[in-house]
Structure 1
Amino acid sequence: MKMVVPNCSNAPQVFKIDDKLCSFVRRVLPGGHLLEMNNAFHDEVVILAFRGSSWLSNQDGRTYHETPGSVVLRDAGQVFSTKTIHCDEVNGSDCHEIHISQEGLQNILNAHGDGEYGTFDFSNPVLNHEDLHRRVIHTLSVFESRECALMKSTCLAMLFRDIAEVTHKKATNENKRRSNRRHRDVVEYMRENYDSEITLQSLSELANVNQFVLIRQFRDEYGVTPHQYLRTYRVNKAMKFIKQGLKLADVAQLCGFFDQSHLNRQFKRTVGVSPGKFFARILE
Structure 2
Amino acid sequence: MYREIVIPNRSMALEGLDLVDAQYTSTVFGKHIHEEYIIGVIETGAQKFLHQKALKVASQNQLIIVNPDDVHTGEAASPNGWRYRAMYPTSEHFSEVYNDLGLGYDLAPYFPESVVSAPDIARDLRLVFDQISLNATRLHAETLLYALLMKLVLRLSIKKPEKQKQRYSKHKLYEAKEYLRATFDQNISLKELAEIAGLSQNYLIRAFTQEFGLPPHRYQLQLKINKAKSLLKRGHLTSEVAIACGFFDQSHLHRHFLRSYGISPGLFRRTMNP
Q: TM-score, normalised by structure 1?
A: 0.67
Paired amino acid for 1:155: L
Query: Is contact 1:60-1:222 (8 Å) kept?
Result: no
Query: Is contact 1:61-1:222 (8 Å) kept?
Result: no
Q: Counterpart of 1:161?
A: 150
Distance in 2 between the 1:189 and 1:105 partners? 27
Match of 1:200 among 193, 198, 201: 193
Judged with a 3 Å threshold, the aligned counterparts in structure 2 of structure 1 residues 17 and 264 are, in CA distance, closer, same or farther, namely closer
Match of 1:128 among 96, 102, 117: 117
Query: Is contact 2:46-2:82 (8 Å) kept?
Result: no
Q: TM-score, normalised by structure 2?
A: 0.69
Greater mean deviation of Cα atoms: 93-102 or 133-142: 93-102
State yes or no: 1:83 paired with 2:83: no
Match of 2:42 among 50, 53, 60: 50
Distance in 2 between the 1:197 and 1:154 partners? 45
- The RMSD of aligned alpha carbons is 4.4
The structure with higher relative contact order (CA 8 Å, sep 6+) is: 2
Distance in 2 between the 1:40 and 1:203 partners? 24
Greater mean deviation of Cα atoms: 116-125 or 63-72: 116-125
Distance in 2 between the 1:84 and 1:121 partners? 26
Judged with a 3 Å threshold, the aligned counterparts in structure 2 of structure 1 residues 211 and 279 are, in CA distance, closer, same or farther, namely closer
Q: Counterpart of 1:61?
A: 53
Distance in 2 between the 1:247 and 1:187 partners? 27
Paired amino acid for 2:122: H
Judged with a 3 Å threshold, the aligned counterparts in structure 2 of structure 1 residues 113 and 70 are, in CA distance, closer, same or farther, namely farther
Match of 2:97 among 101, 104, 109: 109
Q: Counterpart of 1:223?
A: 213
| Superimposed CA distance per residue, residues 239-280 of structure 1 (whole angstroms, 9 cap, x where no aligned partner) | 7768843647x844x2246xx4xx58965884699xxxx789
Query: Is contact 1:51-1:95 (8 Å) kept?
Result: yes
Distance in 2 between the 1:59 and 1:72 partners? 11
Q: Give % identity.
A: 16
Q: Secondary structure at the match of 1:10?
A: coil
Deviation for aligned residue 1:216:
4.0
| Superimposed CA distance per residue, residues 111-170 of structure 1 (whole angstroms, 9 cap, x where no aligned partner) | 43342994221443222322222221112223223444333222212211221233335x
Q: Counterpart of 1:12?
A: 5
Q: Which runs of 5 or more structure 2 residues have no equivalent in the other structure?
A: 270-274
Judged with a 3 Å threshold, the aligned counterparts in structure 2 of structure 1 residues 125 and 279 are, in CA distance, closer, same or farther, namely closer
| Superimposed CA distance per residue, residues 40-76 of structure 1 (whole angstroms, 9 cap, x where no aligned partner) | 3324222111211211100232211112232212233
Q: Which runs of 5 or more structure 1 residues have no equivalent in the other structure?
A: 1-8
Deviation for aligned residue 1:204:
3.6
Query: Is contact 1:113-1:161 (8 Å) kept?
Result: no
